[in-house]
Amino acid sequence: MQHALRLDGVVKRFGAMTAVDHLSFAVAPGEVFGFLGGNGAGKTTSLRMVLDIIRPDAGSIEVLGKPPGRESSRHLGFLPEERGLYRSMTALETVVYFGRLKGMTAGDARAKGRELLDRFGLGANLKTGVDKLSKGMAQKVQLATAVINAPRLLILDEPFSGLDPVNQGLLEDEILNAAKGGAAVVFSTHVMQHAERLCDRLLLLAKGAKRFEGTQEAARATLPARLDVVARQSPAGLDGVESATAKGEVGEGWTAWDVRMAPGRDPADLLQHCTMAGVPLRRFEQHRPGLHDVFLHIVGSAEARA
Ligand SMILES: Nc1ncnc2c1ncn2[C@@H]1O[C@H](COP(=O)(O)OP(=O)(O)OP(=O)(O)O)[C@@H](O)[C@H]1O
């Protein structure tokens, strides 16, 4: 099996509204895949189809080489966006229950459940009723239910929301460990810093349709380059420069400029041009855009067009 998850031309409509629009992507074992999009982009709807909670109107889905359903669910882990646990169970009972559902023996599920809850800082709460746990603690119990079976495909819908920074770090470690162990991990988030730290590849969704899929570097490269330049004369008008804004004098006739390249133009060409033309430069430094900027650029413009 080449891919842990594969969607091909998947469509989901609710009445006249197309929530997921011909969506195709694939995730390989050992890969951390960020599934990113704004509110209402169609992330949860897509993930619910992967989990066989709802069915697509068109297209096909393969989970661990099979159609979504019972057969693949044993090797699947899922943290839903809407958290909810059986309130009458203790933390350990809850995790063991899910382990049993995934086909583990009672002994294995108990041992693994204890180990996980201990690792998540809940060692003293094994016998606490989940209705007595704080929201973040309950969320960690739910995370334990998602990973107890050492899933080959781990799907996390907005897993970071509701966790404090320490627990967000713990979750990041858990995601990276799962991938290191060979699992494919797909997670949705609005928070680009998590995506930045974790994703091997990412997909940007807007209004149900894919706007970008690829590595972080490829995502950054979709933005026109931006540079800090210190020069004696304005770089505006030089080859490939879209705009140059003076930021201030820095002494002895030198000025700092915020330079924006035209889309697709390479700053290296500008540097070469300046060298050849004898344009004196004291500083020439490219900004590394964050995924936040990429998100606004790709998703923002897609939404503005719609
Ligand atoms: N059962 C449903 N019936 C009707 N419309 C639905 C249903 N489920 C989702 N939608 C609509 O489909 C669109 C996509 O919703 P979805 O929950 O998949 O978005 P999302 O990307 O997960 O958003 P968020 O980040 O806000 O959770 C929204 O316009 C939503 O209102």
Are the C-beta atoms of residues 238 and 227 closer than 8 Å to each other? Answer: no
Superfamily of domain 5-220: P-loop containing nucleotide triphosphate hydrolases (3.40.50.300)
Pocket test for ligand 1, best of 11, 18, 20, 45 (most atoms within 8 A of CB): 45
Find the 211 Cα to ligand 1 centroid distance in Å.
18
DSSP3 helix / strand / coil % (the chain, rounded to 5): 35, 30, 35
Task: Return the residue matching tokens 């810093």.
Answer: 193
Q: How far is CA 150 from CA 21, 80, 130, 160, in A?
A: 32, 17, 22, 20
Find the 207 Cα to ligand 1 centroid distance in Å.
10
Are the C-beta atoms of residues 147 and 77 closer than 8 Å to each other? Answer: yes
Are the C-beta atoms of residues 32 and 175 closer than 8 Å to each other? Answer: yes
Residues lining ligand 1, Cβ inside 6 A? 14, 19, 37, 39-45, 81
Number of H helices, E strands in the chain: 11, 13
pLDDT at 73: 81
Taking the CA of residue 157 as reference, the ligand 1 atom at the shortest distance is 22
| Residue 17 neighbours by CB under 8 Å, 6+ apart | none
**Angle formed at CA 95 by CA 91 and CA 52, multiple of 5 degrees:** 130
pLDDT at 275: 85
pLDDT at 287: 84
pLDDT at 254: 92
Residues of the chain predicted below pLDDT 50: none
pLDDT at 161: 87
209: which 2 tokens? 């349709």
- The alpha helices in 120-239, defined as continuous H runs, are 135-147, 165-180, 192-198, 216-220
Find the 5 Cα to ligand 1 centroid distance in Å.
21
Q: Which of 179, 170, 111, 110 is nearest to 140 (CA)?
A: 170
* Domain range 226-288, CATH architecture: 2-Layer Sandwich (3.30)
Residue with CA nearest ligand 1 atom 2: 14
Stated pTM of the model: 0.86
| Residue 161 neighbours by CB under 8 Å, 6+ apart | none
The dihedral region occupied by 257, where left means phi > 0, alpha psi between -120 and 50, and beta the remainder, is beta
Are the C-beta atoms of residues 45 and 188 closer than 8 Å to each other? Answer: no
pLDDT at 302: 58
Sorted by where each begins, the domain ranges of the chain are 5-220, 226-288
Residue with CA nearest ligand 1 atom 25: 39
Tens digit of each residue's pLDDT (9 = 90 or more) over 47-61: 999 999 999 999 999
